[in-house]
Amino acid sequence: MSLPIRPPLRALLLVLLSSCGGSGTGGQQVEFSMAAESIPPAGERLGRMETRSGWQITLEEARIVVGPIYLFTNSPPSASRWLPLGERLLGWMIPRALAHSGFDQFDGGEVKGEYLGQLVIDALHPGVQPIATLRGIAGPIRSATLELNPAAPSHAFELHGHHVWVRGLAVRGDESIRFEGGLDLPDDGHLRKVVGIPADLELGEGSAVVLELHVERWFAEADFSTSEGRGVDETRTIDAGTQVHAAWLQGVRGYGTFTIR
């Protein structure tokens, strides 16, 4: 025998069921654009930055190949659960972005949009660099994942055969070092992905999604005094196994290097 549902309980059930249904546009196919943009540090121009060890960097050439790119419904994991209670309470009052871009087991949930090609981002190009017009599914985007695969033959020349390429000048006091080099990411799956990039978007018809590159993070921890060179005017190569190369490798796929708007 079924029991009658009291009016207040019936009303509560209706509210719960309606909330599970989501917005009226969720699930609809929509057309949206995707683009990339290199964002300069505050108060600086593109290609100018300072390392933690006090080197002033001026990039003269800087490119990276990215793609595919996936837009997900799930928020990335948060590091907040490992913080002391006082810091967690402060975080609730003053929200902070604590997600990390390297969670191997992160389940992004439903893919709302994806770009399956490759794009070379010119980190010194001012303004938006269009990627493609795509079709996706309307709804919330809370994270993104991108892959850093070897460049296709059509892009290899721009990158001198590498995943990432730079050329520039590092200055600290009276010391000036010209440098250049290419970065090749090991084929272990983990290092060729940037996972769990935080996002807070609602994908809809005509939305414009922009992948932002913060190139100043590439060399934030680099110390160019460790690089070797035989002459003042010699261009020093960023070789594997050096401190600058290791810092660059971490910076290319570190937290905050890529953001989504």
What are the pLDDT digits (tens) for 121-171? 999 999 999 999 999 999 999 999 999 999 889 888 899 999 999 999 999
Predicted model pTM: 0.77
Specify the pLDDT at position 25.
Answer: 52
In the structure, what pLDDT confidence band is assigned to residue 114 with cuts at 50, 70 and 90? very high
Using alpha carbons, list the distances in angstroms from residue 61 to 58, 122, 164, 170. 9, 8, 10, 13
What pLDDT score does 75 carry?
Answer: 86
pLDDT tens digit sequence for 66-88: 999 999 998 887 643 433 444 33
Residue 12 has pLDDT above 70, yes or no: no
What number is the average pLDDT over the span 36-51? 89
Residue type, 38: S
Locate 113 and state its tokens.
Answer: 């949009």
Q: What pLDDT score does 20 carry? A: 41
Q: Which of 48, 72, 44 is nearest to 136 (CA)?
A: 72
CA-to-CA distance for 128 and 182, rounded, in angstroms? 24
Average of per-residue pLDDT across 175-182: 94
